[in-house]
Structures are given as C-alpha cells and as structure tokens.
C-alpha cells in the first residue's frame, strides 16, 4: 500500500488495514511523517515534532499486535497534541517565549491516556500564546494556516491541532477549549471538534489558562473518530480535584460513552440517531451578529434534523448577551493568577540583567509574554482589584450562574440546543488581529457552554460565501457527551458532506 | 487620659500531617534543601492541588478544641502576590469561608474570644547567600521544602488586654494544640509562629484605635516584651499628641525595640478570589462528630478534674497541666496506683526545680511513671527516707534506672534497726557533753541537733521515727522551768 493511500483515513479504516495485515503501525507513522515533512512548512501546524518517539511506539505496537494481542482503541493512530499539554522529553511552550525551553518531567493525563490507547504522537501543535486567541495569530513562534485555504486563519486557539487534522498530518488531535478554542477552529477548518462536559477529562498537565473553563477535547474528521478519541482520554484522575469521580460518571452519564455505543450509533441511519430528539435552536444566536452566510447552512441543517425526526423549536437563552463580558472577566481573572507562576525564578525565561527581584520580574514577564497575554493579565488583575471585585469578578460569577440557569431551564424540555459554532466562517490573516473586541466576538456562540460547563460539539454543516466551512454546534446537558455524539453522528450522516476528505485527496 | 491596650494575636500553627497540604511530599525534617519537593509544591505549569484530608481533620480537631463552629462548607481562595518563595505567585488560603468560626480559650478563668481559624499552605524559604540578611547578599537561594506545608492560622479577637495575658493565651493555645496532637508548637523551628496586633484607646471608648502589627518574635517572652514595648511606644506618641501610623513593625530582640518594616513600594492588594482548582469543601456533621469523639481530654478539663476529683489546688493543677508530657506522666503514674498528691508534690517540687536548673524539658529526662510509682511506694513503706527519695528522683531524672535496684546497689535502704541507730546516737551524745547539759537545762530545741548529727552519721538513711523514739529514751530529762 502506498504511503499516500494511508493519509486521510479514519480510525476504523486504519484498524481494518492493520488487522488485514495490509499495513503496520510503523508504515502508518512513516506515511504521516512524510505528509508533515511535505506540507507543514507551508501550514505551520506543529511547534515541535516527536517522530522518533512515534516510530518507537509504532514498533512497540506492531510487535504486540503481531503477538495476537487485541488492538487497543487508538493503536496505530497518528495524533497530535496542542503544545499546552505536558509531555516528557519534549518541550511544552504554550506558544510563548516565556516557556521557550521548558521540558516538563511529567505527562498530562490526557497524553498518558493517548499512549495507553496505542496512539502515535507525532508532535505538538501551534496555538495562540497560552491559548489566548481565536486565530492562532498570537503564537510567539509562527502563524498556522487553514488547510482548506492558506489565506485564511485556522481559528484558535487550537489552530495547530485543527490544521494538522485538516491537512491529514494526523487522524485526530487534542485541543483545549476555554471559550471555544476547539469548536471554533473545528468550524473554521471543516472538522468535528468537541469540548466535553467540564471534569470529563483531567486537566492534570494542561497548562492552565482559566481553570474553571478549560477542558481538553478532540479534533477529528468525523464524529466516530472524535468519539473514539474522547473515549480514550476521558476518565477519573485523582490529581485533578475538578475531574469527575468514577461513581459520579456511572451515575450520571447515561448512556455512557463506550466503544459499543459508538459502533452502534455509527451503524445506524440518521433517522435512527435523531428520531424523537428534542432540540432547541437558540434564538439569540441565530439573529443579529451572525453572518447571513452562516445562518443559512445552520437553518438548513436544522430543517434536516427535523426531517430526520427530531423536534426542533426555538428556545431563548436570555442572558446569552452577557456571556462574552462574563467570560472576559472570569477567564482573565483566573488567567492573571494562573500565569503568575511564570516569574523567571524556577523555570522558563529569565532576564539575567536585572539587578534585583522586582526588576527581574518586570523584565522577564515583559520579554516573555506577548501583547494579548499581557492585555488579559491586566484585565484580570483589574477585575480582581480591591474596590472593583464586586462590580466585575463577583458580578460576572453571578451572571454566569444565570446563564447556567438559562440552560438548565431549556434542558427541562430539550435534550440539546443548536447554534452556529461561530458568528462567521474563517477570516483572512490580519482581518481581526488589530481589533481585540472583534476577535473576542468570534467566540460569542461557543462561550456559553464553557461558562455552564456543558458538553459542546461542532461539526461542518455547509459552506459560507467564501467557500470556507461553516460549523454547527450542539450543546447538551451535563454528562450527555455520548448522546451529543450520537446526535452529531445523525446529523453528519444526514448531511453527508465530504469537505475535508476531498480536500486532503486533492492535495 | 487613661489608655488601655487592645491586643489581638494571629498564630500560624504548622499541622503535623505526614504529607503536605496539596501534594504528597513528606513533611518530615529534610536533610538538604529542595529535597522534599514535587511539581505541585514547586508550582510547575499544568499541575494541580489536591487537598490533604488529614489537614482538614486537624482543622476540625483544632476548631472543636477551641470551641469554634465548624463550617458546613468552606472554600479555598487564592491570595495573589509575587515573591520568590511563593512558587505559584499566589498562596492557597481561605478568605471568605474559613473552616473554623468563633470560639474561645480560657485564660486565667476568662474566655478570650477567637475570631476564626483557616487552612492555608506555607511558602518556601529564602536563603540569602554571602550575608545574614537580604541586604548586602550577593544572591538568594530558595528552599521549597516548606512550600505547601499545612498551616492553620488561628486569629483571636482583639480581646487581650495586657502583654502578660497575651503570653498566657499563647501558652494555653500551644498547650491545647499539643494535647490534641495537631502541632509541635515549636517556636524556634517555626511550627508555631505568632504576630501581634496592638492598639490603644482611652479607657471606656468602644472604637478601636489605630493598630500596628508586630512580627518576628521567636519566643513567648519575646511576644510579651514586644507588645509591652509597642504599648509604651504608642503611649508616648499619643501623649505627645501624635498619631499612630498603621504599619507592620519588626521586633528586634537584641535591642528590645520594634522598628517599622521597610515600607513596600505599593500597598498590597491580594486580589483574593475562589480557588477554581479546588471544589468547595463540605464537612459532614458525621465527620465532625467522629473527630469530636476522638478528642483527648483538654488541659482545662484536666485542671478541673485534678481539683475536683484529686483534691489538688488550682495552682498545682495548673502546673501539672502546663505541658502535655508532664500531665500525661502524672496520669500514667496514677494509673500505676501512685498516690496523686505525692506524685504531684514530687513533680511540682524537686522535679520542676531540676528542670529549671538543668534547662531541660520534661520529655528529655529519663524518669518513667513506673519509677515514680516505685518511689512513692518506697517512701510510704518506709523503705527509703524522703531525703533519700529526693536524691533518687534526681538521679532517675538524670540517668534513669530501676528504683529497687538503685536502692540495693547504692545501699540506700532506710535503716530502722534500733541497734546501729542506738550506737550512733550514743556516740553523738558522748561527744557533745555541753549540748547535752544545755538540753537538760531547758534548751529543748537542741533535740534537733542530736537528731541531725545522727542522721548525718547514718548518711540520711535512718528511719526518722526510730531516731525520735530512741531520742525519747536516751535524752536526759529536762529541768522544769
């Protein structure tokens, strides 16, 4: 089998090829390394490569599989991880100069789980510095281009992971989503991207941006691969106190996300997966502020959901209009504390010319952080300052509770809600990078799910006037990750789009 | 204008858990710098705190012993500030919702009110190279062994009125923490640290005056002296018509004065907010009750019992309960059927004097409760005289050993046999004709002289009752006055 034939495949396809001995983990690895070597210079998806580790892992799994061992969930599956997740023996930069040469002595939980599942990690992907941004233009190292059209941004902050999956450099990838950083780039690159329920995946080893909002999740080219990757990384981890306990999962995740459940919904028709589902379409996120060429495919998709037997009705999220403001207070407040540890004392960049401690702090952080990170640290510091705390941070947390309550009210009668993932399709480089507010607005539809800790998934549902993809977002009840994936599968089957797969083939 | 002092104390007690409060590094003494550290207590990127259940239990235990209300839900907050010994750039503490609310400690029969107690993590320690302090040093090293050690900060109400009372409050608080075995209470090693807030106001005025905070006191005596010095400083200022500046002052033990801490460039704004990496902590009432059941008898309860059940004076009860070691020793001796009053007398009298003289703690002596019981038995049965027993006690405290064997090997057994005593007495009388004559002529006090000479000759081992009996027989009649 030629190397190019191994690119753009799904997990199931790769596994059947491995089982039929038509290829090996090592061959799959080499094919993807070749694709990266050919295309990544142009796209800029990766910040570092871990090819040798991937080759070693591939050889390890080939040997085990040849001994007749069962094929684990992601055996032989090339993946990439966002460079804010710690991995041993390679740098974790967070896209920042301040961590330019940082190598952690520990592995993030999600990365451990990928290794256990047999995944082959090819490298670490570009991101907006400390995951702060919506276009991956705020990386201290490079820009990442949209694999569908390199004049466009891939979205962000997990733009590198999105581009890597979209370009066929890997099959799935991990991103982190604080306000839409998986779903928005998935939408911009025509991929499936999911932010699980808060606490579903341990945050251990994920360099924190905003602790109460951050969640790790997968990118994939279809819903099934997204589900399998999530299944591999989910689980209780005692090193993260906000990670859900096993008993809580057993009690509340119904249906539970299992391989059997994924295979079952994959084999079903769109109607079987969607029939009888009560789906709300969020009024506030389909009106003003949403581009017409985004609205159109969303409404078409909603009609398709109805055609497949779902009951679609308009619902209201009355406090949604405050979500962006709430987010930029809570997230920046938490970030201002989370990023305080980058002080040059113990690791990372340090200015060596400063004569005393405070001068060292100022110089180190001034040199180490980019403009967007500094802006957010200042915003957050301000929001927490004495005299402003009640008016900003505290008020924001109160409104956050109202937004959560809005969702729970809807969920009394609906299983999930739909909206566009982002108010517009991918934009061109530089279009918003000088206007932070415009940039912040691109997360307006994805932020509410983070504030309420809900699972959200974005999948492509059509094209905008620019011929760039449009993503539709489904947001479900807490712990309904499996049902959400099932519905997404139904919609994917009904839409039958081949946006990315065709693009990869044409490359 | 008569002024009165208003004093509040903040105590940081290091909890004796096996591991740190948010990671599993050991808390035991470390041989070298940065030996007991991990990514969590070093504040590495991406790692998260996990709360030590034992630290919470010790918090509950302390709260119950201090008569506090244990919060049903408490929460951790981030206290943000930059310093090289603070690895995360924030300290995880409790701000709005502490674990213990209210409470009191009885000091000299008065209930001194406690405001709150909260759990938090300690910071690391700076080691300045090339000089004793920060100034003049070439560079500083940071030792993170102490980073994330569990602390309980116990804050009193401004309810203390004198330096003496402040010292007694601290003594009692430390005693309680030691009784319930949550803290070593060692000031020198920093497991029990105290800051004092001091203000003055005219007698009768309700509002508090402007306070200053005093730090850097390394003994209870230093606390008392520092507060006294601060009261004098503030009094002098007020009498001159000057205003007190709210500030932090450092106690200088050698000079016996407080000095203002070099003022920071900006006032601290700690920007407290709820720690999002830890869930709010719910403390079930069942857990509180379980902890309550495991509480030992507290010093105040013991003092009460020693008076009412054992008939000791309140002074004696206070001395015996001053340290847990002494009080536990007393209890163990009683359990071996030693009489309470006799043990109390031995411990309060000669044993305490010995400790003072040898500058030792009770736990550093070799004396066992069995020794004490044996000693009391030996005295009451007449086997040794009390004079000999006292010497034995001091020997046992210094060297240890077995009472019966010591009596045997040193030949200390009391001589009650009349024969040898009579012979000695006869010798004494024979060589003291003038005293004997004086005695006969009415100086009856000289009986003590004969007694003493005989006892001396018998190396203190003679049974005093036997000497007295024989003296009655052998001394001449006294002329009627």
pLDDT of residue B275: 98
Residue among A294, A265, A247, A257 at smallest CA distance from A418: A294
- The residue among A458, A417, A487 whose CA lies nearest residue A190 is A458
Residue B178 within a domain:
yes
Q: Which residue of B has its CA nearest to A93?
A: B45
Please tell me which residue in A96, A104, A157, A433 is annotated as part of the active site. A157
Instruction: For residue B48, give the nearest of A239, A341, A386 by CB distance.
Output: A239
**Contact flag B271-A238 (C-beta cutoff 8 Å):** no
The pTM for the full model equals: 0.91
Residue of A93, A176, A346 to mutate when probing chain B, most B C-beta within 10 A: A346
* Residue B53, in any domain of the structure: yes
Does residue B480 belong to any structural domain of this protein?
A: no
Domain membership flag for residue A284? yes
For chain A (507 residues), the mean pLDDT of every run of 10, in chain order, is: 92 96 97 98 98 97 92 96 98 98 97 98 98 96 97 97 98 98 98 98 98 98 98 98 98 96 98 98 93 96 97 96 96 98 96 92 98 97 95 97 98 98 95 84 95 98 96 98 98 89 69
Is there a contact between A104 and B277 if contact means CB atoms under 8 Å apart?
A: no
Return the CATH number at B426: 1.10.10
Q: Are A152 and A428 in contact (CB under 8 A)?
A: yes
Is a pLDDT exceeding 80 seen at residue B102?
yes
- Residue A251 inside a domain? The answer is yes
Smallest CA–CA separation between A443 and chain B, in Å?
22
Alpha-carbon torsion angle B354, B358, B363, B369, nearest 10: -30
Task: Answer whether A346 touches B (CB < 8 Å).
Answer: yes
Q: What is the pLDDT of residue B268?
A: 79
- Please state, in angstroms and rounded to a whole number, the distance separating the CA atoms of residues A340 and A380: 12
User: What's chain B look like in SS3?
Assistant: CCEEEEEEEEEEEECCCCECCCCCCECCCCCCCCCCCCCCCCCCCCCCCCCCHHHHHHHHHHHHHCCCEECCEECCEEEECCCCCCCCCEEEECCCCCCEECCEEEECCEEEEEEEEEEEECCCEEEEECCCCCCCCCEEEEECCCCCCEEEEEEECCCECCHHHHHHHHHHHHHHHHHCCCCCCCCCCCCEEEEEEEEEEECCCCCCCCCEEEECCCCHHHHHHHHHHHHHHHHHHHHCCCCCCCCEEEEECCCCEEEECCCCCCCCCCCCEECCCCCCEECCHHHHHHHHHHCCCCHHHHHHHHHHCCCCCHHHHHHHCCCHHHHHHHHHHHHCCCCHHHHHHHHHHHHHHHHHHHCCCHHHCCCCHHHHHHHHHHHHCCCCCHHHHHHHHHHHHHHCCCHHHHHHHHCCCCECCHHHHHHHHHHHHHCCHHHHHHHHCCCCCHHHHHHHHHHHHCCCCECHHHHHHHHHHHCCCCCCC
| Binary contact (B45, A106; C-beta < 8 A) | no
B45–A343 CB contact, under 8 Å: no
Active site residue A181: yes
Q: Which of B46, B265, B272 sits opposite A208 (nearest CB)?
A: B46
Contacts of A93 in chain B (CB under 8 A): none
Please count the structural domains in chain A.
1
State the pLDDT confidence band at B267, using cuts at 50, 70 and 90. low
Do B339 and B436 share a domain, yes or no? no
- Contacts of residue A386, defined as CB under 8 A and 6 or more positions apart, other chains included, come to B269, B271
Q: Could you confirm whether A211 is annotated as catalytic?
A: no
Contact state of B43 with A242 under an 8 Å Cβ cutoff? no
Tell me what ipTM this predicted complex has.
0.96
Chain B: residue nearest A331 by CA? B276
Most B CBs within 10 A among A207, A343, A397, hence the mutation to make, goes to: A343
Q: Which two tokens stand for residue B340?
A: 């309470």
Nearest CA of chain B to the CA of A54: how many Å? 23
Tell if the CB–CB gap between A393 and B45 is shorter than 8 Å: no
In-domain check, residue B354: yes
pLDDT at residue B135 in the model: 65
Higher per-residue confidence, B387 vs A138 = A138
pLDDT at B391: 87
Do B18 and B161 reside in the same domain of the chain? yes
Active site residue A157: yes
Please report whether residue A341 resides in a domain: no
Q: How far apart are CA A46 and CA A35, in angstroms?
A: 13
DSSP state of A152: B
| Distance separating alpha carbons of residues A461 and A446, to the nearest angstrom | 16
Spatial separation of the C-alpha atoms in residues A148 and A12, rounded to whole Å: 24
Strands (E) located in A245-345: 278-282, 311-315
Which run of H or of E encompasses A462? strand A456-463
pLDDT digits (tens, 9 = 90+) for B408-445: 887 777 778 888 888 888 888 899 888 888 888 888 88
Report which of A38, A7, A23, A125 is spatially closest to residue A75, judged by C-alpha positions. A23
List phi, psi (to 5°) of A14: -60, -40
| Confidence (pLDDT) at B132 | 62
How sure is the predictor about B455, in pLDDT bands with cuts at 50, 70 and 90? confident
Q: Which of A99, A337, A385 sits opposite B45 (nearest CB)?
A: A99
Residue B14 domain flag: yes
**Residue range B167-197, pLDDT digits in tens:** 999 999 999 999 999 999 998 889 999 999 9
CA A397 vs. chain centroid, Å, equals 24
- Nearest-CB residue to B84 (from A205, A357, A393): A357
In a domain, A243, yes or no: yes
Evaluate whether residue A18 is within a structural domain.
yes
The total number of structural domains that make up chain B? 3
Structural domain includes residue A475: yes
Show which of residues 100-139 on chain A sit within 8 Å of chain B, judged by CB atoms: 102, 104-106, 108
Tell me the DSSP string of A397-412.
HHHHHHHHHHHHHHTT
Among B264, B287, B310, residue at a domain's last position:
B287
For residues B89 and B82, the answer to whether their CB atoms sit within 8 Å is yes
Q: Which of residues 397-456 of A touch B (CB under 8 A)?
A: none
Q: Is the pLDDT of residue B265 over 50?
A: no
Is residue A282 situated within a structural domain? yes
Q: Quick count: other Cβ atoms within 10 Å of Cβ B353?
A: 11
Q: Which of B21, B39, B47, B80 to mutate to test the interface with A (most CBs of A within 10 A)?
A: B47
> What is the structure's pLDDT at B131?
65
Domain of residue A10 covers 3-322+397-506
Tell whether B237 and B95 lie within a shared domain.
Answer: yes
The residue annotated as part of the active site, out of A139, A158, A176, A181, is: A181
Residue B331 lies in a domain: yes
Last residue of a domain, one of B287, B322, B355: B287
Q: Cβ neighbours of residue A207 under 8 Å, at least 6 residues apart?
A: A84, A85, A86, A92, A94, A99, A130, B45, B46
Residue B117's nearest CA partner among B46, B189, B177, B165 is B177
Note the pLDDT of residue B336.
93
pLDDT in tens, B108-123: 889 999 999 999 999 9
B394 touching chain A per CB within 8 A: no
CB of B45 less than 8 A from some CB of A:
yes
Of B233, B252, B287, the residue that ends a domain is: B287
Q: Do B369 and B312 sit in the same domain of this protein?
A: yes
CA distances from A147 to A15, A37, A136, A459, A486 (A): 25, 15, 13, 16, 27
Same domain for B378 and B460, yes or no, is no
Q: Is the CB of A201 inside 8 Å of chain B's CB atoms?
A: no
Boundaries of domain holding B103: 3-287
In a domain, A472, yes or no: yes
Answer whether residue B292 is part of any domain. Answer: no
Residues A340, B88: C-beta atoms closer than 8 Å = yes
- Asked if B269's CB is within 8 angstroms of A385's CB, the reply is yes
A337 vs B46, B89, B279: nearest CB = B89
Cβ separation of B45 and A242 shorter than 8 Å? no
Q: Is B50 on the interface with A (CB under 8 A)?
A: yes
Q: Residue A228: CA atoms inside 13 Å, Cβ hemisphere, count?
A: 26
Per-residue buried b or exposed e for B171-190, using 16+ beta carbons within 10 Å of the residue's own CB: bbbbbbbbbbebbbbebeee
Q: Do B88 and A341 touch (CB under 8 A)?
A: yes
DSSP output for A123-135: EEE--SGGG--SS
Q: What are phi and psi of B257, to 5 degrees?
A: -140, 160
Q: A160 by DSSP, 3-state: which?
A: helix
Q: What is the CATH number of the domain that holds A294?
A: 3.90.1300.10
């Amino acid at each position: 089998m030629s190397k190019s034939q191994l690119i753009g495949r799904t997990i199931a396809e790769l596994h059947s090829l491995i089982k039929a001995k038509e290829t090996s983990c090592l061959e799959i690895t080499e094919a993807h390394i070749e694709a990266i070597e050919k295309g990544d210079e142009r796209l800029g998806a990766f910040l570092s490569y871990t090819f040798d580790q991937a080759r070693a892992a591939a050889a390890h799994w080939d040997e085990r599989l040849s001994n007749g061992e069962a094929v684990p969930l992601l055996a032989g599956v090339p993946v990439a991880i966002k460079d804010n997740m710690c991995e041993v023996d390679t740098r974790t930069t967070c896209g920042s100069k301040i961590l330019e040469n940082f190598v952690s002595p520990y592995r993030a939980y999600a990365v451990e789980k990928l290794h256990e599942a047999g995944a082959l990690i090819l490298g670490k992907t570009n991101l907006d510095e400390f995951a702060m941004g919506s276009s991956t233009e705020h990386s201290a190292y490079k820009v990442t281009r949209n694999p569908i059209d390199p004049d466009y941004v891939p979205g962000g902050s997990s733009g590198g992971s999105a581009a890597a999956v979209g370009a066929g450099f890997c099959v799935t990838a991990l991103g982190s989503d604080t306000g839409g950083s998986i779903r928005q780039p998935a939408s911009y690159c025509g991929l499936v991207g999911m932010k699980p329920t808060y606490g579903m995946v341990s945050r251990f080893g994920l360099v924190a941006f905003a602790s109460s909002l951050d969640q790790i999740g997968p990118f994939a080219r279809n819903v099934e691969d997204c589900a399998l990757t999530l299944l591999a990384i989910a689980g209780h981890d005692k090193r993260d106190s906000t990670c859900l306990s096993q008993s809580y999962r057993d009690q509340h995740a119904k249906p539970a996300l299992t391989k059997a459940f994924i295979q079952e919904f994959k084999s079903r028709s769109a109607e079987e997966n969607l029939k009888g589902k009560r789906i709300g379409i969020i009024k506030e996120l389909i009106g003003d502020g949403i581009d017409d060429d985004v609205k159109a495919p969303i409404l078409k998709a909603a009609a398709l959901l109805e055609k497949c037997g779902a009951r679609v009705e308009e619902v209201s999220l009355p406090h949604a209009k405050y979500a962006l403001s709430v987010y930029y207070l809570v997230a920046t407040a938490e970030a201002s504390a989370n990023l305080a540890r980058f002080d040059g004392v113990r690791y990372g960049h340090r200015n060596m010319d400063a004569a005393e401690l405070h001068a060292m702090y100022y110089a180190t952080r001034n040199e180490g952080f980019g403009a967007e990170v500094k802006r957010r640290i200042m915003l957050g510091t301000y929001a927490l300052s004495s005299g402003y705390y009640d008016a900003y941070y505290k008020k924001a947390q109160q409104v956050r509770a109202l937004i959560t309550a809005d969702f729970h009210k809807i969920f009394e009668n609906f299983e999930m809600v739909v909206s566009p993932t982002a108010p517009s399709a991918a934009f061109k480089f530089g279009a918003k990078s000088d206007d932070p507010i415009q940039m912040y607005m691109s997360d307006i539809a994805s932020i509410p799910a983070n504030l309420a800790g809900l699972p959200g998934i974005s999948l492509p549902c059509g094209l905008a006037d620019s011929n760039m993809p449009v993503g539709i977002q489904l947001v479900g009840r807490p712990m309904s990750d499996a049902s959400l994936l099932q519905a997404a599968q139904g919609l994917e089957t009904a839409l039958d789009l081949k946006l990315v797969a065709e693009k990869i083939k044409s490359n | 204008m008569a002024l009165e002092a208003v004093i509040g104390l903040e105590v940081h007690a290091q909890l004796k858990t096996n591991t740190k409060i948010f990671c599993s590094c050991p808390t035991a003494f470390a041989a070298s710098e940065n030996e007991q550290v991990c990514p969590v207590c070093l504040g590495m990127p991406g790692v998260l705190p996990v709360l030590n259940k034992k630290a919470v239990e010790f918090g509950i235990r302390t709260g119950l012993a201090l008569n506090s209300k244990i919060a049903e839900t408490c929460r951790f907050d981030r206290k943000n500030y930059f310093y090289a010994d603070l690895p995360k750039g924030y300290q995880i503490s409790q701000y709005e919702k502490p674990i213990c609310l209210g409470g009191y400690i009885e000091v000299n029969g008065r209930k001194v009110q406690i405001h709150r107690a909260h759990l938090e993590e300690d910071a690391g320690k700076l080691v300045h190279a090339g000089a004793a302090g920060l100034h003049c040093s070439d560079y500083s090293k940071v030792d993170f062994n102490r980073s994330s050690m569990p602390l309980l900060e116990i804050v009193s109400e401004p309810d203390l009125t004198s330096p003496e009372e402040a010292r007694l409050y601290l003594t009692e608080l430390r005693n309680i923490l030691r009784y319930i075995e949550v803290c070593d209470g060692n000031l020198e090693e920093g497991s029990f640290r105290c800051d004092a807030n001091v203000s003055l106001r005219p007698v009768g005025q309700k509002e508090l005056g402007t306070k200053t905070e005093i730090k850097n006191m390394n003994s209870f005596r230093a606390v008392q002296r520092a507060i006294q010095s601060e009261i004098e400083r503030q009094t002098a200022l007020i009498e001159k018509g000057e205003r007190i500046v709210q500030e932090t002052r450092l106690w200088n033990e050698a000079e016996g004065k407080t000095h203002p801490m070099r003022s920071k460039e900006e006032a601290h704004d700690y920007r407290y907010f709820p720690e999002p990496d830890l869930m709010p902590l719910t403390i079930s009432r069942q857990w509180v009750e379980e902890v309550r059941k495991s509480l030992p008898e507290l010093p105040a309860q013991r003092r009460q019992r020693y008076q009412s059940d054992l008939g000791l004076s309140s002074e004696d009860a206070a001395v015996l309960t001053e340290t847990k070691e002494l009080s536990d020793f007393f209890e163990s001796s009683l359990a071996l059927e030693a009489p309470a009053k006799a043990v109390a007398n031995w411990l309060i009298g000669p044993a305490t004097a010995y400790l003072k003289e040898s500058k030792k703690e009770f736990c550093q002596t070799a004396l066992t409760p069995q020794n004490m019981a044996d000693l009391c038995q030996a005295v009451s049965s007449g086997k040794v005289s009390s004079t000999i027993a006292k010497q034995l006690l001091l020997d046992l405290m210094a060297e240890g050993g077995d009472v019966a064997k010591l009596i045997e090997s040193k030949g200390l057994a009391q001589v009650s046999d009349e024969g040898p005593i009579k012979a000695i007495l006869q010798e004494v009388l024979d060589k003291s004709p003038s005293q004997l004559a004086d005695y006969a002529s009415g100086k009856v006090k000289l009986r003590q002289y004969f007694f003493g000479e005989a006892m001396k000759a018998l190396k203190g081992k003679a049974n005093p009752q036997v000497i007295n009996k024989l003296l009655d027989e052998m001394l001449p009649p006294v002329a009627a006055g």
